């Protein structure tokens, strides 16, 4: 068996399970789980495709997991407390676990963008905070900031 | 402070500390530590540049750390028990911790190749075995298979 990963055979995770209305900008995102295809468990590696207008996520930060992104093609806007930064192929950024400066990528261009993204996989899952949404991601699902669970949603979009 | 990583300001790790004669094909390799530049600690992300003739490493496998590689430019040959596979931009592969099928990348072309590589960082370091060399990487340095330490070597090449 060859070691080269066949993206067509890799698990695909498209769209989102965010509760409404936070799902809207993320419905069109598409992720190919390359690391999973190779049986990796310690970190995830996805090829993220963002059509025009799509976002990688709502702005968020992880309590326990490092993240890293590398732009492969197209152009995305990285949104953080540092303001908007346009990232082009070869540009990259990292987001340290516990750093409360939330981030997301937005495709404001008229062409697709693809981004390689890496994130630690914590056994049992991690917590993520969304500074611009009344939403927290916990291992059991999404809740409001006060802990009230959102109804579980099917994955949709993509 | 912007979040985009400036590769020129990222730590550079060139060449190798392998004992001779295993160092020879790896002297020209160059690594820019992008993950370190962003303060990440849970995994490393390097941009590896391989001039013609250079290898990423001697064939090896890690006991405790997952690895992943993604070709950004140029062409490399992935060497594993599966045989030689030519990888081109956009091709990728993963190497699960504990899988004894050792791997390395060799640039047999006449142009530079660049590869994004990701690997878990285990606190205290990891052990790596080199099936084609009388060499084992341990947290304390390189030894022969029988445990005899090699003399510590300066980093050289690059």
Q: Please indicate whether, in this complex, the C-beta atoms of A38 and B82 are within 8 angstroms of each other.
A: no
A39 to chain B, closest Cα gap in Å: 6
Q: Please indicate whether, in this complex, the C-beta atoms of A35 and B116 are within 8 angstroms of each other.
A: no
Backbone angles phi, psi at B37, to 5 degrees: -60, -30
- CB-closest option in A2, A45, A96 to B38: A96
Any idea how long chain B is? 158
Taking the C-alpha atoms of residue B111 and residue B108, their distance in angstroms, rounded to an integer, is 9
How do residues B49-106 score in pLDDT, each as one tens digit? 999 999 999 999 999 999 999 999 999 999 999 999 999 999 999 999 999 999 999 9
Contacts of A38 in chain B (CB under 8 A): 68, 93-96
How do residues B93-145 score in pLDDT, each as one tens digit? 999 999 999 999 999 999 999 999 999 999 989 999 999 999 999 988 999 99
How far from B149 is each of B115, B122, B141, CA to CA, in Å?
31, 22, 7
**Is the CB of residue A116 less than 8 Å from the CB of residue A46?**
yes
- CB-closest option in A70, A82, A92 to B1: A82
How do residues A35-47 score in pLDDT, each as one tens digit? 999 999 999 999 9
ipTM rounded to 2 decimals: 0.96
List of chain A residues with pLDDT < 50: none
Q: Which residues contact A123 (CB under 8 A, 6 or more apart)?
A: none
Q: What is the pTM of this model?
A: 0.97
- Tokens 């030519």 belong to B86
> Chain A: residue nearest B5 by CA?
A93
Pairing of strands A141-143, B83-87: unpaired
């Amino acid at each position: 068996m060859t070691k080269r990963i066949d993206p067509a055979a890799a698990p695909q995770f498209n769209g989102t399970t965010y509760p409404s209305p936070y799902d809207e900008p993320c419905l069109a995102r598409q992720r190919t789980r390359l690391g999973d295809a190779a049986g990796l468990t310690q970190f995830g590696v996805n090829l993220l495709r963002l059509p025009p207008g799509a976002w990688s996520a709502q702005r968020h930060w992880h309590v326990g997991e490092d993240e890293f992104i590398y732009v492969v093609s197209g152009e995305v806007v990285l949104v953080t407390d540092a303001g908007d930064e346009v990232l082009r192929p070869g540009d990259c950024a990292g987001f340290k676990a516990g750093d409360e400066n939330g981030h997301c990528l937005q495709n404001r261009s008229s062409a697709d963008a693809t981004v390689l993204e890496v994130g630690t996989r914590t056994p049992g899952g991690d917590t993520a905070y969304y500074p611009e949404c009344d939403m927290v991601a916990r291992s059991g699902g999404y809740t409001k900031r006060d802990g009230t669970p959102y109804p579980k949603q099917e994955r949709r979009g993509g």
